[in-house]
Amino acid sequence: MLTRRTLMKGALVAGAYAGGMSLAGQLGKPASAKAATTLLTRRTDALITDKGPTRAAMTYGDAEVPPVLRMRRGVPFALRLENGLDEPTTVHWHGLRIDNRMDGVPFLTQPYVYGGDGFDYAFTPPDAGTFWYHPHCNTLEQMGRGLAGVIVVEDPTDAVFDAEIVLNLRDWRLGGDGQFIAQFKPRDAARAGTFGTVRTTNWRQTPQYDAPAGGLVRLRIAATDVTRILTLNVDGADALVIAADGNPTADRFKLDHLMIGPGQRLDLALRMPDSEGAIAALMDLRGTKPATLVTFRATGASLKRNLQDLPALSANPLSEPDLSAATEIPFILSASAEERPKDGICGSLGYNFWAINKVPWADDSGDPTAPLAEMKAGRTYIFNVENPTPQVHPLHLHGLVFKPMNSNKQALRPHFSDTYLILPDEKVQLALVADNPGDWVFHCHIIEHQKTGMTSYVRVT
Ligand code: C2O
Ligand code: CU
């Protein structure tokens, strides 16, 4: 019988390791030709609340909690998805700049994978950093029930930390009995999205991890919730932002009330307190009540490390946009008339509330709308994005990375990203080199917005 304690240990193994560089996890071993590993989607009971198991959660792999997939930059990776669910699914590798055929978007890049069927994914991750994986079919239901895991792409030349802890931050829509309730309310989908009722880190409420006193810990944070935007801060220790959305930041800076939205990642260098037993905490300060997401307890004698001693992370091989020869493309977010879309295999929510350039996405249909833009491979484009809606939207582009510039609302640091959190009334420019051919989805990562129209795609030929 699994006790809460052994499960907690399992979560720790999936979520953290201490130092060292040969880290191929249970599913992360690079395979060359045929997929040597499988990733099974299945139903599971989850120990999220103290009300006993939550029934009919969904997970990847054999453990309760989806595994951290470890890959290496430039090394081929292969994995066979086995769908053990009674509904179709796919896997999208959020932030990885890979072959379009491996991108996991039903109809656009691959057929959906029926229950009992499988699909072979194989690609070579070009960039090191923190990424994540999740379905792109019936996404609100499947992600809401658990299908979201973190990807770590390692670079052997990266700075070695005293410990590394992977943090999958997400909420669950559970009733007082610890069982799932309706995933969304239509009136909330038309606003900020429907919030979860139970907040977790690696599927546990405020877990605690041990880390060496006075040591430097790499925290790899992924915001995988379907709705919630966070304002992150660390209490009881110093923390530097070293990477965001998979890419090293140009400069490191002290973490100070940083906002991240669904789909975004943040890598922090945390300097643990010196005295044994001292606690540092990762907090969400958005909203009225501060929430403690996870705590870290200092163990052993202080290693007396210094944040300033950390070498820089190596940059990823990204193309710098050529602003002198850029073509501008407008993208205007809007609410849309409330008309019912036709039901889709991948689960329509039954409403259109949102649109990009006035077109609501024809949800998961075999006959999607035309691409909103066609781009020529190798050329620079600037997406002029405007958000006249009263909501914040984490906009995610598949397969390519952009540099946000010239916001009328935020001071931006030069940085490559795949997900931009656009504020109400914000206008921003996302500059990119169209260096990966294919049809790439561009959508809001508040999944209710994505599924009720705020989705489109661009084509690179
Ligand atoms: Cu995180 Cu369309 O994806
Ligand atoms: Cu949105």
CB within 8 Å of 201: residues ≥ 6 apart: 167, 168, 169, 207, 282, 293, 294
Q: How far is the CA of 271 from the centre of ligand 1 (A)?
A: 32
Across the range 121-129, mean pLDDT stands at 98
Instruction: Say if residue 447 is in the same domain as residue 384.
Output: yes
Q: Name every residue whose Cβ is closer than 8 Å to that of residue 50 and which is 6 or more positions away in sequence.
A: 178
Residue 24 lies in a domain: yes
Domain membership of residue 177 (yes or no) is yes
Q: What's the pLDDT at 380?
A: 98
Q: Give me the mean pLDDT over the 330-346 stretch.
A: 80
Question: Where a domain ends, among 309, 335, 351?
Answer: 309
The confidence score (pLDDT) of residue 394 equals 98
Q: Is residue 316 part of a domain?
A: no
Q: Are residues 19 and 127 located together in one domain of the fold?
A: yes
Give residues (CB < 6 A) around ligand 1.
92, 94, 134, 136, 263, 396, 398, 441, 443, 445
Give the residue numbers spanning the domain of 209: 163-309
CA atoms within 13 A on the CB side of 101: 6
**Which numbered ligand comes closest to the C-alpha of 385?**
2
Ligand 1 atom, smallest distance to 105 CA: 2
Which tokens sit at 254?
A: 């002290």
Query: Could you tell me the pLDDT band of residue 368, with boundaries at 50, 70 and 90?
Result: low
* pLDDT over 50 (residue 401): yes
Do 332 and 424 belong together in one domain?
A: yes
Kindly give the residue spans of alpha helices, DSSP state H, lying in 93-243: 139-144, 186-189
Q: How far is the CA of 92 from the centre of ligand 2 (A)?
A: 19
Give the ligand 1 atom nearest the CA of 134.
1
Share of the chain above pLDDT 70, in %: 90
What is the pairing mode between strands 291-299 and 265-271? Answer: unpaired
195 is a domain residue: yes
Please give the residue that has the higher pLDDT: either 340 or 144: 144
- DSSP for residue 424: T
- Taking residues 51-75, report their average pLDDT: 97
Q: Write the pLDDT tens digit of every residue in 278-290.
A: 999 999 999 889 9
Question: 113 with 173, same domain?
Answer: no
Radius of gyration of the chain (CA): 21
pLDDT band at 81 (very low <50, low <70, confident <90, very high): very high
28, 143: one domain: yes
In a shared domain, residues 149 and 188: no
Please report which confidence band the pLDDT of residue 28 belongs to, taking 50, 70 and 90 as the band edges: very low
**C-alpha torsion sign, points 290, 274, 167, 72:** positive
How far is residue 264's CA from residue 419's CA, in Å, rounded to a whole number?
A: 6
**Ligand index nearest the alpha carbon of residue 224:** 1
Classify residue 394: in a domain, yes or no.
yes
Report the number of distinct structural domains present in the chain.
3
Same structural domain, 150 and 169: no
Closest residue CA from atom 3 of ligand 1: 94
Strand runs labelled E in 112-207: 118-123, 129-134, 149-154, 163-172, 198-201
* Ligand 1 center–CA 400 separation, angstroms: 12
Q: For the chain, what's the residue count?
A: 461
Q: Which amino acid is at 19?
A: G
Cα–Cα distance between 235 and 247 in angstroms, integer? 25
Residues 419 and 455 in one domain: yes
pLDDT of 191 higher than 70: yes
Torsion of CA 134, 137, 141, 145, to 10 degrees: -30
Q: Which amino acid is at 335?
A: A
Ligand nearest to the CA of 261: 2
Ligand 1 atom having least distance to the Cα of 443: 2
Quick check: is 314 in a domain?
no
CA of 457 to the centre of ligand 1 (A): 12
What one-character DSSP code corresponds to residue 6?
A: H
Give distance in angstroms: CA of 445 to centre of ligand 1. Answer: 7
Residue 300 and residue 178 share a domain: yes
Helices assigned H by DSSP within 136-191 = 139-144, 186-189
Q: Is residue 247 part of a domain?
A: yes
Residue 150 vs residues 168, 202, 241, 381, 432: alpha-carbon distances, Å? 7, 10, 18, 30, 25
pTM of the model: 0.92
pLDDT at 316 over 60: yes
Average confidence (pLDDT) over 201-225: 98
CA of 12 to the centre of ligand 1 (A): 26
Region of poorest pLDDT, from 21-25, 157-161, 238-242, 367-371: 21-25
Least distant ligand from the CA of 395: 2
Residue 75 to residue 123: CA distance in whole angstroms: 9
The rounded Å distance from CA 391 to ligand 2 centre is 7
Average pLDDT over residues 300-323: 95
- Please identify, among 154, 185, 212, the residue that sits at the C-terminal boundary of a domain: 154
Strand ranges across the sheet with 118-123: 54-60, 38-46, 77-83, 118-123
Residue located nearest, by CA, to atom 1 of ligand 1: 94
Closest ligand 1 atom to residue 132 Cα is 1
Whether pLDDT at 31 is above 80: no
Give the ligand with the smallest distance to the CA of 419. 1
Residue 338 reports pLDDT greater than 70: no
Distance 152 CA to ligand 1 centre (A): 17
**Degrees (nearest 5) of the Cα angle 101, 104, 106?**
100
Point out the ligand 1 atom lying closest to the alpha carbon of residue 94.
1
Domain end position, chosen among 154, 186, 214: 154
Q: Does residue 2 carry a pLDDT above 80?
A: no
361 pLDDT higher than 90: no
Atom number, ligand 1, closest to the C-alpha of residue 441 = 2
224 or 363: which carries more pLDDT confidence?
224
Do 24 and 68 lie in one domain? The reply is yes
We report the CATH number of the domain holding residue 443 as 2.60.40.420
Kindly report the average pLDDT of the chain as a whole number. Answer: 90
In a shared domain, residues 12 and 69: yes
Centre of ligand 1 to C-alpha 168, Å, is: 16
Which ligand 1 atom lies nearest to the CA of residue 263?
1
pLDDT at 24 over 70: no
Q: Of 449, 445, 428, 454, which is closest to residue 359 (Cα–Cα)?
A: 454
**Same domain, residue pair 305 and 187:** yes
State the closest ligand 1 atom to the C-alpha of 450, by its place in the atom list counted from 1. Answer: 2
Q: Which ligand is nearest to the CA of 191?
A: 2
pLDDT-derived band at 29 (thresholds 50, 70, 90) equals very low
The average pLDDT across 37-52 equals 97
- From the CA of 458, how far away is ligand 2's center (Å)? 18
What is the number of other CB atoms lying within 10 angstroms of the CB of residue 160? 12
Answer whether residue 213 is part of any domain.
yes
